[in-house]
Amino acid sequence: MTQKFTSTLNLKSGHVDLSHGGGGRAMAQLIDELFVKHFDNDLLRQHNDQALFNVPAGRLVISTDGHVISPLFFPGGDIGSLAVHGTVNDVAMSGAKPLYLAAGFILEEGLPLADLERIVISMAAAAKACGTPIVTGDTKVVERGKGDGVFITTTGVGVVPDGVTISGDRAKSGQAILVSGSIGDHGVAIMAGRENLQFETSIVSDSVALHELVASMVAAAPADIHCLRDPTRGGLATALNELAQQSGVGMVIDEARIPIKAQVKAACEILGLDPLYVANEGKLVCICSAAAAETLLAVMQQHPLGRDAAIIGEVIDDPHGFVQMTTAFGGRRIVDWPVGEQLPRIC
């Protein structure tokens, strides 16, 4: 049942005000004419404060991710699509099939409703493409100067297929390290946008949902995938260090095997960034048994999102948990945890 409002939301020139977070008529209208309209599913349409769904007995995963990216719109996406992809990917990195999303919006007073609509439409399209409806949500509004346009915290649930056990603590010496494609695209696209840099070839974010790539990998070698992680904030270097630490192992990767687009490499040089530390939003790291590495590589390369996949190194015994890299010059260097913050609000 839809409430009758005296006029429709002014999506052309209206702005978010505090009443949109007040629980009253203005909030109900925002929810009906924007969120329910575009997210469009039966659970949300019930207007309850929670969504109810049936699950078979089994293993469920839950993951949550706040999105505070600046700017809200960037080459290759926006905070809406990113908020879906980021959480779908976190769910998928357990090997799970993502099922449903919940979305919490924190809006800043004064945000143009046209911007919010654009974000919601993008988010709805991403959720639909992923097959993960946004079934429940929440909207808060903070005063001008107490937020920054829109923050979106998205939570996802998914179900893990039988026979699949993927966790960051399962890497073991001798296993292979794979990456699903070229690194650094997302971070460089955002930074280039912020700095107003024009590159010869346009660099766009790789923001995309990886659950179907994961599903094809899991189907091919369910018991051989030990770790999956999407190298977002902090990039490939951080993801590998996290996995090395969790598993209590070391790693050696080969610089020459890490796929990086030429224009991303060039942009990193201009921006003074190390691509190993630059965020990705559509790539994954996989650690698998050595025996299954070539099979998984082939499966990944056959998938549109894994065409440039590569085996980039292997897990070794190392009580210090160091990630080392064989450089193009043949030496080895430690790829350490990032210390400061070179790319704030990249996701």
Place of tokens 């949500």: 137
Q: Closest Cα to residue 87, out of 106, 53, 60, 62? A: 62
According to the binding rule CB under 8 A, does residue 26 interact with its own copies?
yes
> Least Å distance between CB 298 and its own copies?
26
Q: Which of 41, 216, 245, 301 binds its own copies (CB under 8 A)?
A: 245
Nearer residue to its own copies within complex by CB, 297 or 315: 315
Shortest distance, CB of residue 329 to its own copies, whole angstroms? Answer: 26
Question: In this chain, which stretch among 131-139, 173-181, 252-260, 267-275 interacts with its own copies, using CB under 8 A?
Answer: 131-139
Residue 119 tokens, joined: 């974000």
Would you say 140 or 257 has its CB closer to its own copies?
A: 140
Q: Are 283 and 295 in contact (CB under 8 A)?
A: no
Residue 343 makes contact with its own copies by CB under 8 A: yes
Among 76, 137, 282, 313, binds its own copies (CB under 8 A): 137
- Mark residues 102-121: x for contact with its own copies by CB under 8 A, - for none: xxxxx---------------
- The token pair at 345 is 């609000």
- What is the largest distance, in Å, between two alpha-carbon atoms of the chain? 72
Sign of CA dihedral 181, 314, 272, 281: positive
Q: Shortest gap between Cβ of 20 and its own copies (angstroms)? A: 8
Cβ 154 to its own copies shortest distance, Å: 9
Comparing CA positions, the residue from 36, 68, 341, 316 lying closest to residue 176 is 316
In the set 80, 147, 181, 250, which binds its own copies (CB under 8 A)? 147
Dihedral sign for Cα atoms in the order 321, 327, 330, 333: negative
- Is residue 94 a contact residue for its own copies (CB under 8 A)? yes
Residues 6+ apart with CB under 8 A from 87: 63, 64, 65, 98, 101, 154, 155, 156
Q: How far is the CB of 91 from its own copies (least distance, A)?
A: 6
Q: Does 33 bind its own copies (CB under 8 A)?
A: no
Q: What are phi and psi of 151, to 5 degrees?
A: -115, 140
Q: Is the peptide bond before 56 cis (omega within 30 degrees of 0)?
A: no
Report the side by side order of strands in the sheet with 250-254: 225-229, 285-288, 176-179, 310-316, 250-254, 323-326, 332-334
> By CB under 8 A, is residue 157 in contact with its own copies?
yes
| Piece of the chain touching its own copies by CB under 8 A; list 49-57, 115-123, 193-201, 322-330 | 49-57
* Stretch of 99-107, 280-288, 297-305, 309-317 lying at the interface with its own copies (CB under 8 A): 99-107
52 touches its own copies by CB under 8 A: yes
- The site string for its own copies over 54-93 (x = CB under 8 A, - otherwise) reads xxxxxxxxxxxxxxx-x-------------------xx-x
By CB under 8 A, the residues from 159 to 188 that bind its own copies are: 160, 167-169
Residues 178-237 that bind its own copies (CB under 8 A): 229-230, 232-235
SS3 331: coil
Smallest gap from residue 279 Cβ to its own copies (A): 8
Near its own copies in 316-335, by CB under 8 A: 321
The residue (of 74 and 105) whose beta carbon lies closer to its own copies is 105
CB atoms within 10 A of CB 208: 24
- Give the strand pairing for 310-316 and 323-326: unpaired
Cα–Cα distance, 313 to 177 (Å, whole number): 5
